[in-house]
Structure 1
Amino acid sequence: MAIEKVTLVYIEGSLRKISKTLAKCCESGAFHINPPPDTSGTDFTAKIMKDKGVYERMIKRTKAIAESVGVKLDDKVQHDDIEYNTSTDFKDYLDSVDNMQKDLADEKLRLSSELRSKSAIYHNLLRFQGLDADISELLSCRYVKARFGRIPNGSIRKLSFYDDRMFFFYPFEKKENFTWCLYITPTDEKNSTDYLFNSLGFERTELPDYLKGNSDQAANKLLEEMDSDLERMNAIEDELKKIADSVGVKLSKVYAKLKVINSSYELRTNVTAFDNKFHFSGYIPSREKKRFSELMADVGDVTVTYRETTPDDTSAPVILKNNRLFRPFEMFVKMYGLPAANGIDPTPIVAITYMLLYGMMFGDVGQGICIMLLGLLLTKFTKAGLAPIITRIGFSSTVFGFVYGSVFGNEELLKDFAVFRFPPIYSLFYKEPPEDVFQASTLFLIMALIVGIVLILLTMIINIIVSLKMRDFESGIFGASGICGFVLYASLIAGFGCSMALGIEIMNPVYVVFLIALPLALIFFKEPLLHLMETHGLKQGARAANGGNVNTGLKAKLAAMNESGASAPEKKSVGMFIIEGVIDLFETCLTYVTNTMSYLRIGGFILSHAGLMLVFSIIAGMFDGVGSIIVLIVGNIFVTGFEGFIVGIQVLRLEFYELFSRYFKSGGIPFKSVSANIKA
C-alpha cells in the first residue's frame, strides 16, 4: 500500500550486443527505459537504427510462410533455445523453410484459383441445360456469333417487335425475374444485335471456348477436372501439414524472437553509442533486481550497474503497489494524476473513504447486495476497471443498510438493527427513539458534519506529513491545510462545538490569541517567514562545506534561481502585500466553511433515498396483488440505478475536491515496461 521502490540501472556494452541486450530488457517485462542525453549533431541514433526495416520484413515473411503451411504463430512462446542473433541467421532459416514449401504453396494457390474459376463456369453451364450443340464449335464460328446470358422476362415479349432483325433467340432456364438464354446473329450484324439486346436489359455470361460437347457433357467434364484438382489439393495439404508439424514449433519461436528484436529497435532512439559501445539507463522494480541480473548475464560482454533511488530522485517512475482490496481504486488516483516519486500513494485512503462515504449515502441491504452481485458479474464477464469497485461499494452499501435497518426501502424488517434507534445514540438528540429515518434527520445531518470534520482534519495531517517529506514548507507549515491551518481549523471547530453542543465556553482570550489569531498571523506573514527560512537555509548550506548539513532541496532550488537570473523574490508594496494577505485569509476561512458544509450531502442522500423509496411504497399501495409487486420492483430498479449512479458521482466529487486537493501532490512519471509499451 505504497509507491513501490525502484532501482536505477545503467547498462553499457559492445555495440554488437545491442539487439540481444534490448531484447532481454523487453523479455524482462519490468524495464522502464530513460530518454537519452542530448546527442544533437551526432549520428549515434542513425548508426543503431540501420537494420530496423530488415526485421520488419522478416516478420511479414514469417507470417506469410506460416499462413502457407498452416502454422498458427504465437509471439508469447519461450524462445531461449533459438540461437539466431543476426539478420543473416534468420534469413538463412526462413530461406530453408521457404524452399521446403514454396513449390507446394504456389501449386496450391494455382489450383485454388482454377477451382474457383471452374466452379463458376460449372454453375453457369447448369443454366443452359438442353443445349445440344458443341459449345466450343458454337463459340468459334466464323460467320455467326453466339451470346450466352440472361434477359428480363418482360423484355422477351418485346422481341416480337424485331422480327425483321437477323438473330435467333433460344430461351433456357426461367426464373422469377430473368430467363437464361442464347441468341445467335451473323457476324456482320453483331453490333446492331448486341445494341438491341443490351437496350432490353440483356446481361452477358462469358463461357470459355475450350468447353467440349453440349452443356451436359461440358459440365460433366468440368466436374471430373474439379474432382482431380481437389484430390491434388488434399495431397498438397497433407504434405504441407507434414512440413508444418516439422517446422511449426521452431517457426513460432523464431517469430517470437523476431518480434522481440524488432521491438528493441523502437527503443534504440533512447540509446547512445560511441567508441563501438552503447549506453542507456532505466528503472526496474527493486524486487526484480535478481531476475534482471540473471537475464543480463546471458548476454555477455555487458556491464550492468545498479543504484538505489533516493527520496530526492523525482525523475524515478512511479509504480503503485496495493493489495487486492484497494488495487481497483488506483483508477481514480490515476484519473487525478500519479503521485510524485517522493510522495505517498493515496490509494488506500481513497479506497477506504470512497467505500465509507458511498455506504453512508446509499445504505440498503437489498439494493447493496444487488449492486455487489452486478459488480461480481461484470468482473467475471468483462474487463471493466469499474467492476471491482462496484463490488466493493455494493458490500459497503449492504453493511450500512443494517445500520439504517433498510431492506429494499423497507425499514420494518431490520428495525431492531437500526443504529439510530439505539438508546446511546438517539438519546443525544431525542427523548424517544425515532420511528423512521425522517424523524432522525437532525442526527444524520450532524453525524454527516462530524464525518466531514474528521476527514478534513485527517487530510490536513496527511498533507503536513507529505509536504514536510517533500520539503514544501509553504504547504506543510503555512498553508490552509498545513500546521497553521490544522491548528486554526481544529481550534475553531473545538471552540464552536463545545459552545453549541455542550454549552462549555473555551474560547477565552488566551485560546483565541494562541490558537486562532497566531495561526492566522502566521498564514498572513507566510511569504516573509518563508524568505527567512530560505536565508537560514543558505547559512546551513555555507557551513556544509566545512562538514555541516546540506539542505539539498533548497540548494537545488537556489541553483535553479541563479541559472534563470532570479536572485531575489519579487518585491511587493506594503499595500499589495496586505491586500493579498487579507484575500488569502478570507479564502482560507471561506474554504473551511464551504468544505465542512459540503459533507451535509451525506445526510441529504440518506434522507433522499428514504424519500424515494417512500414514494414508490405509496404508489405500490394504490395497487393490489401483482401490480403492487411490479411497482416495488420497478421502483427498486430505478432507485438502485439512478440514485446509485448519482451517489457514486457525488462521492467522487468529495474525493477530488474535498480530500485530494488537500494533500495530493501529483506529477509522478508512470512506470512503462518496454515490453508492454512497444508495437512490434
Structure 2
Amino acid sequence: MAVEKMEMLNLVAPIEEINNISRDIILLENVHIVNALNEINESNFTLNVLEENLEELVDMCVIRPYMEDKDYRDISKKINDLMDCLELEKTIKEEYIEGSYDFKASIKEIEDIYWEIKRVYEEKSLYTEELNKIQEFDSHIHHLKRTKVDLSILNNLNFFSFKIGILSKENINRLKKNYENISAIVLHIGSNTLGEVYLVISPRDLETETNRILHSVNFHELDIPKEFLGTPEEIVINIEDKVKENRSKLESIDNKLKQFKEKYGVIIERQYSRLRLEEEVADIKKETACTNNYFYLSGWVPSREKKRIENRFKKYGHKVLIMFKDVSEVHKYIIPPTKLKNNKLTRPFEALVKMYGIPSYDELDPTMFLSLTYMLLFGAMFGDVGQGMILFLAGLYLSKKNRKSFYGGILTRLGLSSTIFGFLYGSIFGFEHVIPALMVHPIEHINFMLMGSVAIGIIMLITSFGYSIVNRIKQRDMKEGLFGRNGLNGLIFYLCLLGIVGNAVMEREIVPLSLLYVILLISLIFIVVREPLANLILKKRPLYHEDVSSYYIESGFDIFETLLSMMSNTISFIRVGAFALNHVGLFIAFQTMAKIMNNFTGSIIIFLIGNIIIICLEGLIVFIQGLRLQYYELFSKYYRGEGIEFKPIKLVDSLD
C-alpha cells in the first residue's frame, strides 16, 4: 500500500558492550545498518548536548573505524563438517542465542569434538569409497563369472599382459577399424550402462603400441584389485566377502556416529546458531566507528519500531545512548532505504515491482496499482474457468512447497482472475457453450473485445498520470509535475487528444473542437518551455541549464516523441483483446483436430494435449505480455524505481 516511514538511529555505547548490543540489533531484525564513520564525517551523527553526553561528544574527536582481527572461516568449516557428519539440520534456534555467552569458549568446545568425530567419519568415507569401487568392479566384470578365465594365470604370464576396460558405444567402430593394426587379442565379455566391457591380451613387447591404440579410442581401463585375481568362482567369493566385511565395518561406524549425535548433537547445533550470529556481528562491526572507550553505530529503522528498539536496550540503562532523527533532519542527499508495506492480496506482486526497481523513499509504491491491473489484464487475456483453476491449484502447491517463493502467490491470484473472467466469457477448458457467458463470448464480439481493451488501457494510462503527478509533487519537481509530458500538463494534453479522437469516432462534437485545439496548443507550449517556466516561477537562475537553441531543438523533438508515445501506449492495449481472441482461436484449432480424428479416445487425447499446451505456452506468453504492458506502457510514465531496498541485518538459516 505504501512506503514505510523511516528514521535514522544513532547509538553510542561502551566498547565492551559491542558484542551484546550487536547481537540485540541482529535479533531485532529491523535495523538497516549504514557506515557510522561516514555519518559522523557528514555531520549526520549527532547527540544532544547534555551534561551526561559530554564524554561521548568529546570522545568523537578521536573517532576511527572499528578494527577486529577475527576470522571465522576455520571454525565455520569445522562446524559445518560436523553438521554434515552427524546429519544435523542447519537451522538457527533462538534458545541458543538469547542472552550473553562467550564464543571463545564455544570455539574451544568445537575443536575438542571435531577431531574425535572427524577421524571416525574419515574412516567411514574410506570404507564407503572402497565398497563403491568393489561394487563398480563387480558390475563391470559380472559377465566374466560365466567364463573359465583365471585372472591370476593371466597376471603371472611372462610374455603377455592383460587389461579389462570399457569402451563407449561410439568408439566401438573406431576400435574395429584398428583390428588389423593392434597386436592383441580383444574379447568382448559383456555390457553395462557405461558401455561395452572388453578383455585385451597383448604381448609385453608390443604393450606400448597396444596402449597407444586403446588410448586413441578412449579405452577406460579398470583397476583390478589383487585380491580379485583368480578363477570366476574365487572372484565371486572374494567380492561377496569383501562387501560383507565393508558393510559390517560401516554399520559399526554408523553406530558410533549415532552415539556421537546423541552425545554432541545439541552442543554442535548450539554452536552453529552462535556461529551464524557471530558472523553477523562481525558484519555490524565493519560498519561501526569507535574510540578507546565507546563505539558508534548508525542505521535506518521503521518509525513504528522505535518503541520496540528502546525497550530492547532498556536493560543497559544509561550505558546506551539512542537518538532517532526524522528524514527531514538528515542531509537531502542521504537516501533512506525503502520498505514496502502491502496487504496479503498484493504482497506477492512486490517481486514484480522489484524486478523493475525498488521505489525511491519519496515515491509512491506501485504494488497496489500493478497487482490489480495485472490481474485484470491476465484474466482478460486468459479467461477460462478450468484452466484458471489449474493455475490456482498449481499456485497453492508452489506456495505450500516453498513458502518464501513469490511465484505461488502470484500464480494463485492470476489463476483466480482467469477463473472469474472464464465465467464472464462462458469458457471452461476451452469449451464455449458448456456454461453461459455472464458477459460475452469473445469470438462472437470481436469489436467489443478490441475496443474494450483500448478503453481499459486509457483508464490505466490516466491513472498512471495521476501517480506521476503525485510522485513529482512529493519530490518537489514542479518542472515535470506541472508542465512535463507525464505531469498535469501531459494529462491535459492526453485528454484533449482523446476528446478529438472521440469526436471523430462519434461523428459529433461532444466537446467543442476549437476549445480542444486551443488547450492542446497551450499544453504543447508548456511542454516546450517547461524548464524556463518552472525556474521563473521558483525564482531559480539561470533559466536554462544548457544552450538556448539546443534546449528548444530538443524540446521540439520531445513534442514529436510525446505524440508518438501517447498513441503507441494507448493502441498497445489492443493486444489484451487480441490475446483473448487468440485464446479462443487456439482451442478451436484443437477442436478441429479432434473432429478429424473421428475417434472418441483420440479426441479426448487431443483435448488434453491442447489444454496442456494452452496452459503452459499461452499462459507464459500472456504472463510476459501483461508484464510488458506494465513495464513499458505504465511504469515508463510514473515510476523510476531508483530506491535502495530496506535490508535489516538478521540471521538466515543456511551458510553461503
CA distance in 1, matches of 2:130, 2:571: 80
Structure 2 residue 474 is the aligned partner of structure 1 residue 469:
yes
Q: Which residue of 2 aligns with 1:517?
A: 521
Post-superposition Cα deviations, 1:277-317, rounded to whole Å, max 9, x if no partner, equal 11120122333333333433445633222234349686211
Aligned to 2:287: 270
What does residue 410 of structure 2 align with?
Answer: 389
CA shift digits 1:394-421 (9 cap, x unpaired): 2111211222222233222234x3423x
Match of 2:49 in 1: none
Q: Of the candidates 97, 102, 109, which is equivalent to residue 85 of structure 1? A: 102
| Residue aligning to 2:612 | 637
C-alpha offsets along residues 473-508 of structure 1, whole Å, 9 cap, x if unaligned? 222111112111111211221243144226235224
Tell me the residue number matched to 1:363.
383
In 2, distance between residues paired with 1:635 and 1:237?
Answer: 52
Tell me which residue corresponds to 2:589.
Answer: 615
Q: Secondary structure at the match of 2:562?
A: helix
Inter-partner Cα distance in structure 1 for 2:127 and 2:524: 92
* Superposition deviation, residue 585 in structure 1: 1.5
- Does 2:345 match 1:340? no
Match of 1:581 in 2: 555
Instruction: Tell me the residue number matched to 2:266.
Output: 249
Cα distance in 2 between the residues matched to 1:338 and 1:625? 55
**Structure-to-structure mapping, 1:60-79, within 5 angstroms:** 60=77, 72=88, 76-78=92-94, 79=96
Quick one: distance in 2 between partners of 1:568 and 1:66?
67
1:102-136 CA-to-partner distances (Å, cap 9, x unmatched) read 77987998899899999x99xxxxxxxxxxxxxxx
Q: Which moved more, 1:366-375 or 1:198-207?
A: 198-207
Matched, 1:326 2:346: yes
Output the amino acid matched with 2:68: M
- Pick the aligned partner of 2:309 from 277, 292, 297: 292
**Partner of residue 374, structure 1:** 394
User: What are the superposed Cα offsets for residues 142-184 of structure 1, whole Å, 9 maximum, x if unpaired?
Assistant: xxxxxx993538959979xxxxxxxxxxxxxxx99999xxxxx
**Residue pair 2:493, 2:523 contacting (<8 A) in 1 also:** yes
> What is the distance in 2 between the residues matched to 1:66 and 1:367?
45
Match of 2:434 among 404, 410, 413: 413
1:318 aligns to what SS in structure 2? coil
Counterpart contact for 1:149–1:203, Cα < 8 Å: no
SS of corresponding position for 1:603: helix
* 1:199 CA drift (Å): 13
2:532 equivalent to 1:528: yes
- Cα distance, 1:36 vs structure 2: 3.8
8 Å CA contact 2:24, 2:312 repeated in 1: yes
Q: Residue by residue, what CA displacement relative to the aligned partner does 1:365-387 show, whole Å, maximum 9, x if unpaired? A: 22222222222233333565323
Q: Helix, strand or coil: the match of 1:615?
A: helix
The within-5 A match list for 1:107-126 is none
Matched, 1:591 2:579: no
1:523, CA displacement in angstroms? 1.2
Deviation track 1:253-274 (CA, whole Å, cap 9, x = no partner) reads 2442233123311232211112
SS at match of 2:473: helix
In the alignment, structure 1 segments of 5+ residues that lack a partner are 122-147, 160-174, 180-193, 208-214, 421-435, 539-557, 559-566
**What is the number of residues matched between the two proteins?**
554
One of 461, 483, 502 as aligned partner of 1:478: 483
Q: What is the identity, as a one-letter code, of the residue corresponding to 2:429?
A: F
Q: Contact conserved, 2:386 with 2:419, CA < 8 A, in 1?
A: yes
- Cα distance, 1:117–1:500 mapped onto 2, change above 3 Å: closer
| Local SS of the residue matching 2:597 | coil
Q: Is the 8 A contact 1:14 1:277 kept in 2?
A: yes
1:126-137 to 2 correspondence within 5 Å?
A: none
The answer as to 2:68 corresponding to 1:49 is yes
Residue 503 and residue 72 in structure 1: after superposition, are their counterparts in 2 closer, same or farther (change >3 A)? same
2:633 alignment partner in structure 1: 658
User: Counterpart of 1:635 in structure 2: which amino acid?
Assistant: G
Alignment partner of 1:666: what SS?
coil
CA contact (8 A) 2:392 2:416 kept: yes
CA distance change for structure 1 residues 634 and 44 in 2, over 3 Å: closer, same or farther?
same
Contact kept in structure 1, 2:531 and 2:544, CA below 8 Å: no
The one-letter code matched in structure 2 to 1:580 is: E
Which shifted more, 245-254 or 340-349? 245-254
1:448 matched residue in structure 2: 453
Say if 2:28 is the partner of 1:12: no
Alignment CA distance shift 1:196-1:504 (3 Å) = closer
| Amino acid in structure 2 at the alignment position of 1:388 | G
Q: Please tell me whether the aligned partners of residues 384 and 428 of structure 2 are also in contact (alpha carbons under 8 angstroms).
A: yes
Residue number among 545, 563, 566 corresponding to 1:570 in the alignment = 545
Following superposition of structure 1 onto structure 2, how do residues 494-513 of structure 1 map, counting pairs within 5 Å? 494-501=499-506, 503-513=508-518
- Native 8 Å contact 2:536 2:543 kept in 1: no
Name the amino acid aligned to 1:533: I
**Secondary structure at the counterpart of residue 49 of structure 1:** coil
CA distance in structure 1 between the aligned counterparts of 2:389 and 2:643, rounded to whole angstroms: 37
**CA, structure 1 residues 117+492, in 2 after alignment: closer, same or farther (shift >3 Å)?**
closer
SS at match of 1:23: helix
Note the C-alpha offset of 1:242: 7.3
Provide the identity percentage. Answer: 29
Aligned AA (2:533) = L
CA gap of 1:281–1:599, structure 2 versus 1, over 3 A, is: same
Partners of 1:516 and 1:115 lie apart in 2 by 82
Please say if 1:305 is aligned against 2:280.
no
Runs of at least 5 residues in structure 2 that lack an aligned partner in the other structure: 42-61, 135-149, 162-188, 191-196, 212-221, 228-233
Query: By how many angstroms is 1:200 displaced?
Result: 13
Paired residues of 1:58 and 1:91 also in contact (CA < 8 A): yes
In the alignment, which of 262, 267, 276 is matched to residue 259 of structure 1?
276
Partner Cα distance (2:355, 2:597) in 1: 47
The 1-side partners of 2:651 and 2:130 are apart by 46
1:82–1:502 Cα change, 3 Å: same
Query: Which TM-score applies when normalising by structure 2?
Result: 0.72
Deviation at 1:592, TM superposition (A): 1.4
Contact between 1:23 and 1:264, CA under 8 Å: does it hold in 2?
yes
Indicate conservation of the 8 Å contact 1:17/1:299, yes or no: no
CA contact (8 A) 1:314 1:341 kept: no
The one-character-per-residue Cα deviations of 1:184-242 (angstroms, maximum 9, x if unpaired) are: xxxxxxxxxx99999999999779xxxxxxx9xxx9xx99xx99x979x97x9989977
- Shift in CA distance, 107/479, structure 1 to aligned 2, threshold 3 Å: closer
CA contact (8 A) 1:474 1:530 kept: yes
Contact 1:150 1:178 in 2 (8 A): no
Structure having the higher Rg: 1
Give SS of 2:424's match. helix
Q: Distance in 2 between matches of 1:437 and 1:356?
A: 16
Q: Name the SS of the counterpart of 2:481 in structure 1.
A: helix
Q: Is the Cα contact below 8 Å between 1:364 and 1:406 reproduced in 2?
A: yes
3-state SS in 2 of match to 1:419: coil
2:459 and 2:290 map into 1 onto residues whose CA distance is 57
- What is the match of residue 46 of structure 2? none
Q: Which residue of 2 aligns with 1:670?
A: 645
Q: Write the letter of the residue equivalent to 1:649.
A: I
Q: Quick one: structure 1 residues 518 and 248, their matched pair in 2 at CA, closer, same or farther if it must change by over 3 Å?
A: same
